[in-house]
Amino acid sequence: MEQLLTNIINKAALFGLPPSDISNAKEFLDHHEYALCLETITVQLYENEIRIDNEFYQLVVNAAKKMKASISDFDYIISLIG
């Protein structure tokens, strides 16, 4: 799980997510707060209207599945694909 979330964080940084949001997500990851880590990344990408690719979305879906979270909770970022 940690490697998957690290990949998500790194890709989000490449897409242009602000360093403060990256730092917050890494802090949650360091404390094994995986759901908060993923939520921080996805919410901030959405709020900052940062474009993502389908590969990134699939990483988010995979992380959600591994956490047994509802995939539909992350549907809002589909609009960012492009």
Q: How far apart are CA 57 and CA 52, in angstroms?
A: 7
Confidence of residue 57 (pLDDT cuts 50, 70, 90): very high
Predicted local confidence at residue 25, as pLDDT = 98
Percent of the chain with pLDDT over 70: 100
Total domains in the chain come to 1
18-34 per-position pLDDT tens digit: 999 999 999 999 999 99
Do 75 and 40 form a contact (C-beta atoms < 8 A)?
no
Predicted local confidence at residue 54, as pLDDT = 97
Query: 76: domain range?
Result: 2-80
Average pLDDT over residues 38-61: 98
DSSP bridge partners of 73:
none
